[in-house]
Amino acid sequence: MSHQFLLAILLQVRADIAFVSVPGTSVQKQEVRSVRQVADFQASPGWSGSACATLASAGIAVTLALWRRSSRDSSAVAAGYAPAKNRFERKWWYIEETRDPTTLPVWQRDYRFGFQVLRRSMIEARKKGEKIFWDVRVLHVDEKGCKVEMLNSGLIGFMPRGEEGQATPDDRPSVGQELKVECLAAPMQRVNKEQKYSPWPNLYRRSRKAQPIFSHYMWLEQQRSIAKAQELEAGMIIDAVVFKHCPKGLVMTLDGPDKPKGMLDMRDISRKKSAHKWVDKMFPAGTKMKCYVVHADKENGRITLSTKEFEDDFHVGWMLSFPERCFENAEEAVKRYHRKRNAYIAWLQR
């Protein structure tokens, strides 16, 4: 009988004695009984010395491993675990925190929870095409901006001075003031430390940890857009001024005391595909334009604009070369566009 076969028999015998994770002395007695069985195998006649040594070493190794497992499962910490599909869930990990996180010292605040809530909420809101805003409290005000803390998690963040949304340079937030803000950037955890298995040490540490960046100005802009969206309806022609260029298109300033903003997408400027360089040349910041209201969301304040409706089948691309002529005939072009659109919808529903 080979040593491998004997070892397989011993392991099969050990496998037949199923280990039950029950804290107490019964587990220890079972392990002692297993050790005695190994000793009986070794003392039985007809076994060679090498075979007995192999059996003894294998039995002791398996017994020690199971004894360590019994010691771990019978400990005070593991006693509160609930086994579920070979996994142990930490019940104490899910204890709900009822205290106000802003009243805790900074070193006691759960930053992991704060970052997870911030990132995942932003991701889910972006999937829905919505914006999410947070309540923060101003802790410190200096020349560069404000140091703020989130009221829901106590997470510390920074709000640049340009994102404070003040009407005048002297109108700064005060310490203790609570504001509605939008998170512009949420740094990942790896930004503040080196990689887990990186061979390169982090020699040049940051002077301060990367913090989420908030903006009160974006919340004010949304409120202005919501108020303006109540006055607009799809199909209207309004006057607008180019505020600035962005990768998506043109941000337009609409008529109103608070100067609400609308979005003119690159694909909606003309029926012909346009390039950023050409659009920047033809429509610099401050250019007055007429825009067609595609949609005005009265809940989120999203105002979508377009100018390609001012072109017809015989003047495709004229918005990129002769925009003044398109603006002069904007009303007639929109009537023609509505007539053709209604006819096409009726043809689809025939």
The 3-class secondary structure across the chain, one letter per residue, is CCHHHHHHHHHHHHHHCCCCCCCCHHHHHHHHHHHHHHHHHHHCCCCCHHHHHHHHHHHHHHHHHHHHHHHHHCCCCHHHCEEECCEEECHHHHCCCCCCHHHCCHHHCCHHHHHHHHHHHHHHHHHCCCCCEEEEEEEEECCCEEEEEECCCCCEEEEEHHHCCCCCCCCCCCCCCEEEEEEEECCCHHHHCCCCCCCCCCCCCCCCCCCCEEEHHHHHHHHHHHHHHCCCCCCCEEEEEEEEEECCEEEEEECCCCCCEEEEEHHHCCCCCCCHHHHHHHCCCCCEEEEEEEEECCCCCCEEEECHHHCCCCCCCHHHHCHHHHHHCHHHHHHHHHHHHHHHHHHHCC
Pick from 115, 204, 210, 193: nearest CA to 154: 115
Q: 262 - beta bridge partners? A: 252
pLDDT confidence of residue 109: 85
pLDDT confidence of residue 305: 94
CA dist 58 and 52 (Å) reads: 10
Position 38: which residue type?
A: V
Complete domains list, the chain, with CATH: 3-82 (no CATH), 102-192+208-220 (2.40.50.140), 230-348 (2.40.50.140)
For the chain, state the CA radius of gyration.
35
pTM exceeds 0.75, yes or no: no
pLDDT confidence of residue 291: 92
pLDDT confidence of residue 251: 93
Structure tokens at 43: 């003392």
pLDDT confidence of residue 92: 53
Q: Is 256 left (phi over 0), alpha (psi -120 to 50) or beta?
A: left
Q: What is the mean pLDDT of each run of 10 residues along the chain (350 residues)?
A: 46 42 42 49 51 57 60 47 48 68 87 86 88 92 92 91 82 90 82 58 62 92 91 91 92 89 92 89 91 91 91 87 89 91 93
pLDDT confidence of residue 66: 59
